[in-house]
Amino acid sequence: MDRPQMRLRNSMTRTVVPFVPLDPENLRLYLCGPTVYDRAHLGNARNVILFDLLFRLLRHDHGADRVTYVRNFTDVDDKINARAAATGRSIGDITDETIGWYHADMDALGNLRPTHEPRATEYIAEMIAMIEGLIASGHAYAAEGHALFSVDSFAEYGKLSGRSVDDMIAGARVEVAPYKRDPMDFVLWKPSDAGTPGWDSPWGRGRPGWHIECSAMSKALLGPSFDIHGGGNDLMFPHHENELAQSCCADPDAGFAQVWLHNEMLLVEGRKMSKSLGNFFTVRDLLDKGVPGEVIRFVFLSTHYSKPMDWTDAKAREAEGTLRKWRAMAADGGTPDAAVLTALRDDLNAPGAIAELHRIAKTGDGATLAASAALLGLNIEKIVNSRIVLDGVTVIASLAVSQPQDDVRAVVRKWSEFRDNREFVAADHIRKALLELGMSVRVTSAGPEVEISRSYDASKLKGLL
């Protein structure tokens, strides 16, 4: 059976290449998931949305039963241990709660649940077995209760990140420890004290290093060779470089991941997100402010995953306006548009697919629009509007505004009167002021109309009366 062809940007070769599944009947994806000790910040959502889009497209093109998607939870980590010590809560309570938060937040953004969501603590035995094999084959060694991977035993180390070992040593925070044979060697297993989670192993009671978990879980659930591995580009080194090295050495006849898919990072209003800059926020922060998950997803998809994405309030307002307009024409019974599929198959070109959605909307084909948007994970039916006509003024409000206020209608009537009297400078002053408050006004055949977004600030409205 001939299936549609797709191209993807392979980080290993730094080129966009045709994607040829290892087994067309069993497509396999792995995404590095979160360390579960706190809420997911906005940047954490980008690779989830990227892989959800990939998952949806592959299921559409190959069949849902032919695609397996794994995204792990790191539930053993020093950050989790520190959070437990600081709060007096158990590690299990913290990780269970955080996983619940993560599911709720990612679900709200329209993401499907992966086929498997393994926890690292469920695969300790597989990690120990892999480490034992690496030591037996000379790619790792034990020292002072630790097991470490020997970087110089893997000639291709650095191929994924494109760095030489000397550059890595110069540019990375390499832990210098007496038990290391080489500064670049990385920990596969480390000892645990009485107050730290640990498991019995050939090297004493301890816990896994960060990198070995993904190698063990991907092998257990997808096999030693699978199709696509991904994450944010901040994971390319050291995490993915180390995963690749240990997996290839553990199974030298396998190829590990055929394609590496990395997304660029997130900016907020043109600046790197940082607590020190006051522009750091979580997905839940936005959802609790009333920003719909569909709006967040739309903004993310509007920039290609291979480019830095800038989150701005202006983009969110524009996205919400677009989705509200599309909702008004949505209908059931359609199928995804061919041009939308073509865009997505070309390196997951979501911005190109959104441009096609705009084209479809202009034709008025609500069924095709809704089905095409759904392929992108956008449920436009969830964008709710109220449309109320009072005193000759039509007020269109999102969920953030439960009832139109008298002041809103009074200001819109004032703007309309200035226009009727050809006092256009005064009318334009009100229009611009309303835009800053989160409202847009226009004249329609039925009279003046105002659209109120979720960023509407009622406290500043009286100054315009």
Which pLDDT score is estimated for 399? 45
Q: What is the pLDDT of residues 231-240, one digit of tens each?
A: 999 999 999 9
57: nearest Cα among 12, 104, 21, 32: 21
Q: What is the pLDDT of residues 258-294, one digit of tens each?
A: 999 999 999 998 988 877 777 889 999 998 887 889 9
Handedness of CA 314, 319, 324, 326 (dihedral sign): positive
Q: Name the pLDDT band for 462 (thresholds 50, 70, 90).
A: low
The arithmetic mean of pLDDT across residues 208-222, rounded, is 96
What integer best gives the mean pLDDT of the chain?
90
Q: DSSP readout, 40-59?
A: PBGGGHHHHHHHHHHHHHHH
For the ranges 191-200, 260-269, 413-422, 447-456, which has the lowest average pLDDT?
447-456
Amino acid at site 362: K
Residue linked to tokens 């009366």: 465
CB within 8 Å of 208: residues ≥ 6 apart: 76, 120, 124, 127, 188, 189, 190
Pairing of strands 256-263, 393-397: unpaired
Question: Which residue segments constitute the domains of the chain, with CATH numbers given?
Answer: 6-263 (3.40.50.620), 267-382 (no CATH), 386-464 (no CATH)
89-119 pLDDT tens trace: 999 999 999 999 999 999 999 999 999 999 9
Question: How much is the average pLDDT of 25-31?
Answer: 98
Instruction: Show the tokens assigned to 387.
Output: 């449309």
Q: Among 310, 352, 302, 350, which Cα is nearest to 43's?
A: 310
* d(C-alpha 5, C-alpha 456), whole Å: 45
Whether pLDDT at 172 is above 60: no
Cβ-contact 213, 74 below 8 angstroms:
yes
Q: Are 256 and 224 a contacting pair, CB within 8 Å? A: yes
Task: Answer positive or negative: Cα dihedral of 448, 453, 458, 460.
Answer: negative
Counting residues of the chain whose pLDDT is more than 90, the rounded percentage is 70
Distance of alpha carbon 219 from alpha carbon 217, whole angstroms = 5
- Residue among 345, 204, 200 at smallest CA distance from 356: 345
pLDDT per position as a tens digit, 340-386: 999 999 999 999 999 999 999 999 999 999 999 999 999 988 775 55
Please write the tens of the pLDDT for every residue from 388-398.
Answer: 666 677 776 65
Helix, strand or coil, per DSSP, at residue 71 = strand
Residue 313: closest CA among 325, 327, 295: 295
